[in-house]
Amino acid sequence: MRKVSACALTAALLAMAATATPAIGQDQSAERLRAIAATLPSDLSPWSMFLSANQMVEAVIIGLALASVITWTVGLAKAMELLALGRRLRQALATVDSARSLAEAACALSGGPANALVEAAARETALSAGSPEGIKERVASRLERIEAGVGRKMTRGTGVLATIGATALFIGLFGTVWGIMDSFIGISKAQTTNLAVVAPGIAEALLATAIGLVAAIPAVVIYNVFARRTAHCRALLGDTAAAVMRLVSRDLDHDLDRDAALPTLRAAE
């Protein structure tokens, strides 16, 4: 009986140990999850995700934020510049088109690309006073170079917008890929696939792509708007150059008529 009782007691103890082991393991797993959850951010706002992201993702987000600031700064500056230039070119075109001579147009204009066109035409006309042959070609060459210079000035700064619009999204994707890799490393260290553990790191990584879109979309839209506005200003400048060429041709015809009338006047005297 003592042997039977001892065997029964041993079996009971083993059964109790077997049933206690899973409970202890579950308690340890629950404690580990609670410890991991304590380290996770409780606030998942964009600012909180930025602060809790790794250094590479933070660097990408800061760079994209600076790119967005540059986009809006260049956009506002170029918008005011092109609006003012278009207004001046429209007024100058009306002035040159209504003038009867280069001298009259030069007196009516004050500064701006149109004034530069008129001055260049008047200068070339004065230099070519003794050789009227080919004067229109020389004046057209001067006007063409002025148009090219004004066109380069109009597009100054828009290259930054094109660069930001083309690369911001890819930079944001790079930050996202880096952040997801870091999240997977954290998952493997935590040895758990609980969604509460996985979600914050992935959300922080996707924040970089969101900021990339915020930087890229306005840059592309503003660049396209400026491209159309620049083309409109170039068309106005070309019309002004054509009006200046008409004034040059008119002055040359007047000079020819005057030279042809001089012998007749002298004979009459």
Distance, in Å, from the CA atom of 194 to the CA atom of 106, rounded to the nearest integer, reads 78
What was the pLDDT predicted at 252?
82
Same domain (yes/no): 33, 51: no
Are 197 and 190 contacting, i.e. CB atoms less than 8 angstroms apart? Answer: yes
Residues 198 and 259 in one domain: yes
Least Cα distance to 61 among 231, 255, 167, 205 occurs for 205
End-to-end CA distance of the chain: 165
pLDDT value, residue 196: 62
Residue 267 pLDDT:
44
Do 67 and 139 sit in the same domain of this protein?
yes
CA distance 95 to 110: 11
The pLDDT, as a whole number, for residue 253 is 76
Closest CA to 96 of 221, 238, 257, 216: 238
211 and 102, same structural domain? yes
pLDDT means per 10 residues, the chain with 269 residues, are: 45 46 47 50 65 82 93 93 92 90 87 89 83 82 92 89 93 90 76 66 84 93 94 93 90 62 44
> Is residue 2 domain-shared with residue 89, that is, in the same domain?
no
pLDDT at position 125, please? 85
What is the extent of the structural domain holding 17? Answer: 1-39
Are the CB atoms for 146 and 120 separated by under 8 Å?
Answer: yes
pLDDT of residue 132: 66
What is the distance of C-alpha 227 from the center of its chain?
12
Pull the structure tokens for residue 41: 């951010």
- 77 and 170 housed in the same domain: yes
110 and 7: one domain?
no
Residues 150 and 18 in one domain: no
Q: According to the model, what pLDDT value does residue 192 have?
A: 64
DSSP state letters, 198-259: HHHHHHHHHHHHHHHHHHHHHHHHHHHHHHHHHHHHHHHHHHHHHHHHHHHHHHHHHHHHHH
Same domain for 13 and 139, yes or no, is no
Consecutive H or E run containing 124: helix 113-127
Res 3: pLDDT: 42
- 190 & 205 share domain: yes
What domain count does the chain have? Answer: 2
**pLDDT for res 190:** 67
Cα separation values, 79 from 107, 130, 199, 200, Å: 30, 45, 42, 40
Model pLDDT, residue 263: 46
pLDDT of residue 129: 74
Asked if residue 37 lies in contact with residue 200, where contact means CB atoms within 8 angstroms, the answer is no
Task: Please check whether residues 74 and 182 belong to one and the same domain.
Answer: yes
Regarding whether 120 and 16 lie in a shared domain, the answer is no
- pTM equals 0.72
